[in-house]
Amino acid sequence: MLSVSGVSKTFHAGTVDERVALTDVSLELDAGDFAVVVGGNGAGKSTFLNLLAGEVESDTGTISVNGRDVTSLPTHRRAEFIARVFQDPSVGTAAALSLEENLAVAALRGQRRTFGRGLTSKQMSHFEARIASFNLGLEKRLKAKASLLSGGQRQALSLLMAVLRRPQLLLLDEHTAALDPRTAEIVMQVTEQVVREQQLTTLMVTHNMQHALDYGNRLIMMSDGQVVGNLTGEAKRRMTMEKLIATFHETAEQEAPQTANI
């Protein structure tokens, strides 16, 4: 479903500010996979998501989604079938619009947008049913401005907006990092519900090691711009917090001499 082959990216190449962000990264996801990506700061996680979304162009390699080569496809074209939820809850929603207006905009993703007509009763019923399934009481606040929501409620709205028109690929960019622990758990439960019900192929970047163990059927470990671990099935289920932390320590020690020479 998602095929990434030999992708590399260097920023400011040939200058004193040259920084290698990704080196020969390859990854295959099957339809319905929920892959969690972990790694330290500078591991290349955000750059990898930006490449998939089209925000950054790779130097080498190819990216295909559902058999379609999207390597050179611009961001706005990829947005027709790739959805993304960001760390900041305010990024994915329009503060001045009501919840129902935000959802109406999301429903038009990939289509020509016009604002000359109001929502139909059928659309309203659909939005209400979808948002009610989150059990956050948001179905009672469809007329309220998004700016009045809490961070967790707004992120749940962002998530629903991202999947309202079922994407072929869902990217979650540390989407619980700005939330308090209790709210982060609620949003993760909503995330798992949405991914499971719609059988979405999902790539989630997180710094939360517990979330990396608790969610998804794939665990991808990145370090120094490379994929250094790719756990599936029983191997992921048997992974413990102690083993995961030990793996990161081992990787960091292996990279230390290289870092010292930069």
Structural domain of residue 237, as residue ranges?
2-93+150-253
| 45 C-beta neighbours (distance < 10 Å), count | 25
Lowest mean pLDDT among 55-59, 70-74, 121-125: 121-125
Confidence at residue 262, expressed as pLDDT on a 0 to 100 scale: 27
Confidence at residue 127, expressed as pLDDT on a 0 to 100 scale: 84
Asked if the model's pLDDT at residue 107 lies above 90, the reply is no
Asked if the model's pLDDT at residue 137 lies above 80, the reply is yes
Residue 187 structure tokens? 């949003």
Confidence at residue 108, expressed as pLDDT on a 0 to 100 scale: 83
Confidence at residue 259, expressed as pLDDT on a 0 to 100 scale: 37
Indicate whether 165 belongs to any domain: yes
Asked if the model's pLDDT at residue 257 lies above 80, the reply is no
Indicate whether 26 belongs to any domain: yes
Q: What tens digit of pLDDT does each residue of 155-180 get?
A: 999 999 999 999 999 999 999 999 99
Indicate whether 32 belongs to any domain: yes
What angle do helix axes 121-132 and 151-163 make, rounded to 10 degrees?
120
Q: What tens digit of pLDDT does each residue of 218-254 get?
A: 999 999 999 999 999 999 999 999 998 888 777 766 6
CATH of the domain at 33: 3.40.50.300
Lowest mean pLDDT among 105-119, 147-161, 190-204: 105-119
Confidence at residue 70, expressed as pLDDT on a 0 to 100 scale: 98
Round to whole Å and give the CA distance between 193 and 203.
15
Mean pLDDT of all residues belonging to the chain:
91
* pTM beyond cutoff 0.85: yes
Confidence at residue 123, expressed as pLDDT on a 0 to 100 scale: 78
Confidence at residue 113, expressed as pLDDT on a 0 to 100 scale: 54
Indicate whether 217 belongs to any domain: yes
Share of the chain above pLDDT 90, in %: 78
Alpha-helix residue ranges (DSSP H) falling in 41-180: 45-53, 75-78, 99-107, 121-132, 151-163
- Do 88 and 80 touch, CB atoms closer than 8 A? no
Indicate whether 62 belongs to any domain: yes
Asked if the model's pLDDT at residue 111 lies above 70, the reply is no
pLDDT band at 261 (very low <50, low <70, confident <90, very high): very low
Asked if the model's pLDDT at residue 30 lies above 70, the reply is yes
Of the candidates 68, 69, 51, which has an alpha carbon nearest to the alpha carbon of residue 8?
A: 51
Indicate whether 203 belongs to any domain: yes
- Count of domains observed in the chain: 1
Indicate whether 127 belongs to any domain: no
Indicate whether 237 belongs to any domain: yes
pLDDT band at 112 (very low <50, low <70, confident <90, very high): low
